[in-house]
Structures are given as C-alpha cells and as structure tokens.
Structure 1
Amino acid sequence: MKRFLASLALGVGLSSFLMVTGASAQAPTPPEIAARNFVLLDLTTNQTLAERDADTPQDPASLTKLMTAYIVFDALKAKRLTLEQTLTVSKRAWDERKGDPSLMFIDTTMTPKVDELIRGMIIQSGNDASVALAEGVGGTVEQFVAMMNKQAQAWGLKNTSFKNVTGITEPGHKTSARDIAVIFSHVIQDFPQYYAEYYSKREYTFNKIKQSNRNMLLGRDPSVDGGKTGYTDAAGYCLAASAQRDVPNGKRRLLSVVMGTASKEARATESQKLLNWGYAAFDAVRLFEKNQPITTVKVWKGAVPEAKLGAADAVFVAVPRGEGGKLKTDIQRTDPLVAPLGLNQRVGTLKVTTSGGAPVAEVPLVVQHEVPLAGIFGRAWDAIRLWIK
C-alpha cells in the first residue's frame, strides 16, 4: 500500500499534543551543569530538552524510592492496601537503623498507618518506612523488589535493575537519569492525587520527631511542587524535581534529574538552573486542541464517505523561543483507508519539523469516530472503484 503525504504550514495561533522523535538540531545549548548525569524533560510536550549521559547506569541512592512509592500507590489503586490500614514493623525494618541511613524512626512495638509510612518514606526518606511498606505490599522485600523490576521492564527501562527498596549501595542496583525521569513522570501522571499530597510537603513529624524534606527547591521556587533526593558515597548527591508554571497556553510542567553532584546545595542549584533554562529557552506551542480534526480523508467501503483524523489529546510542542510561528507539519498515513475503522484507531503520524526541516516531534494520528462497514452493495461498488483506481 502506498503512503500518502500531506504538508501543512502552521502559523502562530494554531492549536496541539505529542510523542517525540528527539531534540531539534537547532535546539538551544543548555547551561553547564555540574552533575555527572542529567536530563530535563518537558512533560507537557513529552520532549527531552537537555541531557548528558542520561542512559548510563548509576547508583541511584534514594531516588530508588520513586519506584518503591509507585508500587505502593498501585497497590492502593488496586485496593490491596488502604491509607488507614496499619502495618507491623518487622525486625528487618528496624534493622535499617544500622549504618546511619535516613530513617522515619519506627520500631517493632509500633503499628503505623500506611499513610504515615508513605510520608515517612517520601518526606523523611526513611529506609525503615520503605521496608515496612514493601513487606506490607509484597509480603517480603524480595517479592516487592521483583514487582519493581517487573514494572521497570513493562516501561522498557533497559538501564534499570533494582536489588533493594531503599537505594542502599549494592552490586547490580543501578538505574539511569532517563529511567528515573520516566519513573517520576509516571508517579506524577498516574497518581496525581498522591503526588500532590506527599511530594510537596516540606516537613513531617512522627512520634514527636520532626524532620524536613531534603528537597531544598521546595523552599526556594514556588513552582517546584515535588521531587525526591538521594545520597550515598557511590551515587553522590542526586535530585529529581518537577515544576509547573503558568504560560500563555496554560500550565507547563518540566521535570529534571541530576545525579552525581558534589553537595546538597549543588543538587538544588543545578536542578534550578536546568528548570529555569528550560522555561526561558523554549516555548510550549499549542498546535491542535483535543478533539480538533487535523484532516478529513476519504474512506472506502464505509457507511460514511469520510473520516476525521486527529490526535488523541491536545497537541503541544516545545520549540526554541520565538520559533513557534515557523513550524511545519507533515501528515503520513496509509492510503486507501478501508472501513471498518474504530474510534482512536491509529492510521498515521503527524510529523512536526522546524522551518529548516529539523524534526521536533511525532504525533500518532487517530480516527476520531467509528466508521462501520457499508452495506453489501456499497462495499461492492467501492471494491470495483478501488480496483480501477
């Protein structure tokens, strides 16, 4: 079957949603970041704005707890657990006190609620809380770690292998900056209620012990609404952070991950530098609204003669500041389109490029309404016409 290609020149003010092919060849140069590995994602457009060695496996330290939290949130969603449910504290959880790690300070005489343990794990970065939750969800820590790795595989995280739920240094316990960004983005997008409830809190008191969130950006930048820190000797100082700011097209969310910085201050400063640069150097351009038809095409053997094609959601794209009015799009689809066609069935791709032809993003093109088969005579007539065509 041949491919059909249509080109549309887009001016300023057209409206958008996307999947990304990669950064434009004309993308702005990011600032110098004092981190071993980093990545900056635009979650509004699903684009990578900057990166360095983002796929190199590293010790993640307590960034590991982003996946630990995700598995717990998933158990809550599946009703295998409730926030008010109490859990026992095992000797294994108590033994996390060895080696001077981050702790919530629970002991074997306590039966904390799941909600309390989540706060202890996220806000206080408690290793003991992480183990207690892992045992509550998975039965054993080993079973829970298997669940973490299964989820990583489901997302295609090829540079990730978990050996524990806390992030302590252990042979084979590795992930990458990009994989951490994927995990964190799933926490934000799949469980927005838990992200808003837990990751923005600056302190938490349990058993009369008050501890501050180590994410220093929560006190510096009001647009930063969550993140997770990590530190071990092997990992250095790490931070995954996310910010949401108001822009002319609505709200725009960026996510940064820095790994292997030199200090608590450095991980905050370098993350802030990345986020500020991402907002300043790129515009988020709305190309198409949700449910807005991008094109209307002929359908063969259908009960209706045409189908409206569009994106499954609004289409945004991040482009270097000032370049939004120069974008071009190409629609690539299979031709002819033959009924039946289902709602949201993918039939092509919308490719977005700069005026110079550099790729910006690719968006799946889907059918916006069902197209059932025509009657027997309609199908026969179109079959003859297609044969002649």
Structure 2
Amino acid sequence: MRKLLFTITLTSIFLYSCNKPKETTTPKATPDIRTQAETLAKKFIITDGHIDLPYKLAEEGYMAKGTIPDLSGEIDGNFDYIKSKKGGLDVPFMSIYLPASLQKTSGASKVLADSLISMVEQIVDTYPAHFALAGSPAEAIQNFEKGLISLPMGMENGSGIEDNIENVKYFYDRGIRYVTLTHSKNNLICDSSYDPTRKWNGLSPFGREVVKEMNAQGIMVDIAHVSDSTFYQVMEMTDVPCIASHSSVRQFTPGFERNMSDDMIKLLAKKNGVIQINFGSTFLLQKSRQLYDTAKMALKEYKAQNPNASDSAITAFSNQWLIDNDFFADVKDAADHIDYVVKLVGVDYVGLGSDFDGVGNSLPNRLKTAADYPKLIEELLNRGYSEEDIEKICYKNVFRVWDAVLKAAGKS
C-alpha cells in the first residue's frame, strides 16, 4: 500500500528445499521450535512478493545523485543484505512503484519505471557478491545455491505501460516479471480499489489487451490494488494463474476492498493463483484501520502545536502515539491471515508479500524487518504446520505460478 500509510513520518506516518543436499549427520535431540524455525528459514528459499526498496531510495535522493547506499551492510529501513541473510530472505521482488500522480503527465511513469529498474541493476552491478537479477524461478534457485540474494522485479502500477501495448514486451525485456495493474487511482488499464469513481467498471478495453499481452509475454498479472470488478474480469479472461503480490484477507478488515474477500480468494485458488499476505497492521487488523485517521489527526495537531519540531521529534511522537494507542498488529495476526487462507482453500494458494519499506512504521510487532521471517515460521510451526507446508508458503506456491506463466508464454 505505500504510500497511503505511514512512510516515516506521514512524514513518519506518511514522510528444493530447492534440492539442497540434506545434512547426513546423526540427528541430535529434537530442536526447540525457535531453532527449527531459524533452520528452515535458511534451508528453504523465501520469496517475498513486494519490497519497496527502489522507490524508498529514490525518495531519499539516491536516484537523483546516481548513487546507492551500502546495501552489503545495514541501512535504515526494513530491507538490506544483512537483515535478509539473518531472516533467510532469498528472492525479494523489488517493487518498481509508480505513483498515481505521474499519470497526469504523459511519459512520466515510464521514465520513472526505467530509472528504478536501472537502480536495481546498479545494486547488482555494485554488489555482485551479494545480489543478482533473476528472471525465472530456475535463475533464482541457481542464485540461492551460490549464496546470492535474487532481485526479480515487479512493476507496481501498470501506468508505466501508458497507452502503448508494445511496452508490455519492453518491460519484460527490462526484467519486469509481474505488473500490478493499477495503484491508488484508476488508470488506462482498470479501476483501483481506492478510487470511488470507477471509470471503467473493471478493465478498460485497453486493459483487456494488456492482460492478454502480459499472458503472451510471460508477465504475471498482479491483482493487488484493483477493484473487485477488475479482479473478476481478469479471472474470466486470463489463461494463466495470477498473484495478489501484497494483499491480505478482507474477513479481518470488513469493507476494506484493498484486501480480498473469501469469494475472491476461492476463485484465485481455483485458477491456481496465490495471495501473498501483506504485513502492514492496517491490512491485518480492523482496529488498526480504525485508528489510522485518528493517528493522522493526532500528528496534525502535534505539528500545529509544535511548529518548530524537528523530524526526529515528530518521528518520536508518532511512534509513541502508535504504541500508546495499541495500534500495532503482531506476527500472530499475520499468521492468522495465512491460517484463514489455508482453511478456506488449502496451503497451495498462500505466500508472503510483506510490503517492507512501503508501509513505513505500521509493521507488526515481531515482524518489522526482513530479519524477522523466522518469527513467522515459528508461529506457523507452533500451529502445527509441517515443514512441507512451510516450504510451499515460503516459495513453492509462488514459483509454481511464476513457472506456469513463463511456460504458457514459451519462455520456460
């Protein structure tokens, strides 16, 4: 959701096992659940459908400078090499996020998309011992076996395609492997879940062409952010499975169309797709959603009363307000969403889509950075999930969809 949430700080509130050889040593006593979870996080590939690092770096001025921070170490934020290695994150999809505001200026979305893609390429070129590009599950597996973190890319907002169908192939060639059809506003492709005007009542005529061309080129269709009508129309026409790269379950957040209803999850699963659970607190808990507007008002009042407050003071106020008002979800709440999907349609249709570096300081307790995936795995183990189940949730389900889309396009 970026972007509509707390991005420090509004300024804070807005500013196989991969065929990996198994150990042959004599097994010791059964490890405790926490140790088992940490072991599985390293043993299995973990893929995450949505990490907003590129746009975060652009906001911090790196794109304008033509530089990047030292991503081989730790940086401020939810994602970097150290955090990822600690948490076992191996295949984070880099979000090429295109703000809806750019749709007002012809060419602006595509220009930004190209710049952000180039930034991801720069990361790989600068740190080849740490990161690598990946255009397929096979490439991601090869990188994993070399100890490299793969950086596949998904474009968040199809506005980058503009009104030129040839740009679908262009972005495939540039490394884009999924496209979120829209973001916070209706665009030339379809209606957004956040936009009440519903210009197209779903897909536009051009949007239908885009979906077909994405199928033809081997780009996964991402139905996160779209209106319900758009979702059902995509399901009617797509020939291959789809993903919801960073969405959660509407049952826990009634009326929040950005999350998926039971009927939508069932249809996505029937089509062999995957919902990747968003970790943002307002995606996980109705209580957090209800506090969101109050939090914005509290921050506004604080700024009015303290016009000379520093950014650090504003950040401290925001964070303390959220703590004092019990805003944050917990890792258990993320597990509840996974549980719900599994009970509704089975373990083959759910994955992880954290929205790290995109939902700012709204992330749950015990699930704040890429170092924290073992805590989610621990929670699933405590609930009786098998290692096979966890392997599917960590990567196999998403890789199945990714492979199917590439195969249908003759690119696998």
Q: Do both share a fold (TM > 0.5)?
A: no
Q: Comparing both structures, which one devotes a greater share of its residues to helix?
A: 2
Q: Comparing both structures, which one devotes a greater share of its residues to strand?
A: 1
TM-score normalised over the length of structure 2: 0.28
TM-score normalised over the length of structure 1: 0.29
Larger radius of gyration: 1
